[in-house]
Amino acid sequence: METLGVLSFLVFLIAIVLFIVSTIGWIFKKAKGKELSKWKKTSIYSTVVVFLSFALLLFAGIKSTSTSSNDKSNARNTTVSVSLYQNKVDNVTTVKGTATPGATVHFKPTSEDGISDTVKANKKGKFSDDYLVSGKYTVYATYHGYKSPKSQLTITEYKDSDSSSSSSDSSSDTSDSYNATEGENNAEKYTYGDFVKSDDWVGKSYHISKAEVLQADEKDGQTVLLVYTDDDPDHTFMVAYDGKTPAVEDDYVDIQGVFSKRQSYDTKIGGSNTVPSLVASKITVTGKDSD
């Protein structure tokens, strides 16, 4: 489109020059009383070329503006996402999560002596990294020049239960373990609307006594479920479970877990949905939707 604009501009300039020359020639010949047909034709032709080249210039300008607007619109609509199944890993195990399919996931240590690493999300957006050592990391994804928001990841070394520091360690990790009393209380007192609004619930226990499975995805011993509660598909939770479960689509499940940060997923109609997420300690299949 830029080439068309340049060519149109050159033709426009040449046509103007011809028009000026022919007009001057026509005036000069008329003053001399000589034949004017040749100059009239040249003047007419150059006038036509001027209008045609001007029209091409307008067309090229409109197309260029439209392309530029589309590019800006695409830039605004292109987002890159990344989420971890667990933001804290205790035994230096594999770190897993989901990101924009094909995106590169970066693990940047917060300490100067740390070692950074990168992995690539597969076609389904899943990724895993087995080579991270203990420490704190900033995690983000990049894709075609775009960058996702950053997440924080903590990996701690395994500590023997007989060590002198075990009691203090266990007390500091209780927020990551399911508490039955807290889970039941939160289920009774709060609604889905309370959980979907913010990440203030991270680390809190929650018990879902009945949810229907929308989608079940299992790979490398890790299970991710999309479930909805209250018989309302808009009340969707993303549930990560470190293990396998017999739960499949349309099953009813009972879930005990701890809230992690809200997660986003791509919908079937091409949009994105951000929902509360749980790291489950127990998933029990209780029935199946007969409809």
Instruction: Look up the CATH number of the domain holding residue 128.
Output: 2.60.40.10
Residues 225 and 239 both lie in one domain: yes
- Confidence tier at 161 by pLDDT (50, 70, 90): very low
Please count the helices (runs of H) and the strands (runs of E) in the chain. Answer: 5, 14
What would the two tokens of residue 18 be? Answer: 């011809």
d(CA 25, CA 36) in angstroms, rounded, equals 9
| Same domain flag for 86 and 112 | yes
Domain that holds residue 12: 2-77
pLDDT of the residue at 163 = 35
Q: Which two tokens stand for residue 222?
A: 């890790």
280 and 202 housed in the same domain? yes
Alpha helices in 33-130 (DSSP H): 37-77
Domain check: are 193 and 96 in the same one?
no
Together in a domain, 188 and 280 = yes
- Total domains in the chain come to 3
Please give the model's pTM, rounded to 2 decimal places. Answer: 0.43
- Summarised one tens digit per residue, pLDDT across range 209-245 is 999 999 999 887 889 999 999 999 999 999 999 888 9
Cα–Cα distances (Å) from 234 to 4, 18, 118, 228, 263, in that order, read 50, 69, 35, 7, 15
Pair (161, 185) in one structural domain: no
- Least Cα distance to 140 among 156, 153, 151, 127 occurs for 151
Distance CA 59, CA 182 (A): 66
| Residue where a domain terminates, one of 172, 197, 220 | 172
Q: Which of 33, 58, 77 is the last residue of a domain?
A: 77
Q: Tell whether 92 and 156 lie within a shared domain.
A: yes
